[in-house]
């Protein structure tokens, strides 16, 4: 039986690109259809009924009509526009970073319901974090898990033997490496036992438990480095939104 010509889905708007005088090509992330691209005709006109419902970072209910090359959005109703994120430059930078990672690590048409839910809950957590980065670190590790790139944290990535409770090494290509195998991975770097324990805890704990972990400044830097290297290796490029976020963090505080 052929697929219906018109269908409905909820979606997060990951990014958009202007086309012609009034149209916009959107990249959407949906719970059951995965990532898809769709055309929003006339959305940039002042009187468009779609305007405001299809901005980047909107979570909306959509109606779409199938097309030969691109589906077209025929109706939209915003569920959540995340105004608390839009009103804070740092939180907005964090949110755009989350959306970029989702876009980078997902393929069109591949359902990933768990990642969709993780993304929504992460966006909801960011305003309450007060600029803290625990939601981002938790999201990064869970994103790697949801997309098949979870680093090895319990056995040596090279020899597969169980890791000893000591400082080890970390390779972005696969995870933790024991001291005996470190020479075989020239791009690995030291990994403290404390940060290894945090990574393991983040994988098995819910977010409420994870955010209760108190990191020293050096542990926070190390955790960010480890996960950032994993994302860069598997995503095959640096994050543009991540670079923007770092510039925002470098701005003098207002007030």
Among 81, 99, 126, where does a domain finish?
Answer: 81
- 64 and 6 in contact (C-beta within 8 Å)? yes
Q: Is 68 found in the same domain as 91?
A: no
What token pair was written down for 84? 């608390």
pLDDT of residue 254: 46
Closest CA relative to residue 34, chosen from 113, 100, 97, 104: 113
Q: What is the pTM of this model?
A: 0.93
CB 105 within 8 A of CB 235: yes
Q: How many CB atoms lie within 10 A of CB 73?
A: 22
For 198, the 3-state DSSP assignment is helix
pLDDT at 249: 79
Decide: 31 and 117 in contact? Cβ < 8 Å.
Answer: yes
- Residues 112, 69 within the same domain: no
Q: How many structural domains are present in the chain?
A: 2
What parts of the chain have a pLDDT lower than 70? Answer: 1-3, 253-255
| Together in a domain, 120 and 201 | yes
What percent of the chain has pLDDT above 90?
A: 83
pLDDT the model gives residue 2:
59
What would the two tokens of residue 254 be?
């207002």
C-beta atoms surrounding 166 within 10 Å: 10
Q: Do 234 and 154 share a domain, yes or no?
A: yes
Residue 147: what pLDDT? 96
Q: pLDDT value at position 134?
A: 95
210: CATH: 1.20.1440.120
Residue finishing a domain among 81, 102, 118: 81
Task: Note whether 170 and 147 are within 8 A (CB).
Answer: no
Let me know whether 39 and 125 are in one domain: no
Res 241: pLDDT: 78
Question: Residue 252's pLDDT is what?
Answer: 72
Assess if residue 255 is contained within a domain. no
112 and 233 in a single domain? The answer is: yes
Residue 178: domain span? 84-249
Question: 58 and 115: one domain?
Answer: no
Q: Are residues 235 and 116 in the same domain?
A: yes
Mark whether 76 and 89 lie in a shared domain: no
pLDDT tens digits, one per residue of 13-33: 999 999 999 999 999 999 999
Tell me what pLDDT residue 186 has.
Answer: 85
Domain boundary, last residue among 81, 100, 124: 81
> Measured between alpha carbons, how far is 227 from 181 in angstroms, rounded to an integer?
21
């Amino acid at each position: 039986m052929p697929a219906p010509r018109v269908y409905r889905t909820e979606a997060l708007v990951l990014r958009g690109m202007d086309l012609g005088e009034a149209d916009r090509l959107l990249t959407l992330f949906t719970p059951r259809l995965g990532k898809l691209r769709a055309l929003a005709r006339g959305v940039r006109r002042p009187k468009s009924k779609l305007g405001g419902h299809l901005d980047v970072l909107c979570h909306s209910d959509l109606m779409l009509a199938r097309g030969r090359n691109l589906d077209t959005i025929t109706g939209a109703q915003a569920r959540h526009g995340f105004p608390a994120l839009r009103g804070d430059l740092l939180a907005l930078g964090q949110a755009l970073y989350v959306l970029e990672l989702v876009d980078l690590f997902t393929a069109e048409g591949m359902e990933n319901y768990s990642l969709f839910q993780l993304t929504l809950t992460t966006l909801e957590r960011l305003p309450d974090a007060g600029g803290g980065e625990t939601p981002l670190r938790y999201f990064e590790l869970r994103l790697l898990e949801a997309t098949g790139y979870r680093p090895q944290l319990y056995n040596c990535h090279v020899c597969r033997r169980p890791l000893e409770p000591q400082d080890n090494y970390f390779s972005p290509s696969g995870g933790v490496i024991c001291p005996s195998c470190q020479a075989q991975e020239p791009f690995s770097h030291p990994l403290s036992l404390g940060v290894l324990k945090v990574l393991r805890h983040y994988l098995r704990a819910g977010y409420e438990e994870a955010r209760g972990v108190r990191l020293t400044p050096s542990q926070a830097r190390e955790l960010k480095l480890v996960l950032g290297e994993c994302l860069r290796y598997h995503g095959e490029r640096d994050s543009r939104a991540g670079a923007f976020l770092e510039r925002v963090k470098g701005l003098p505080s207002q007030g």
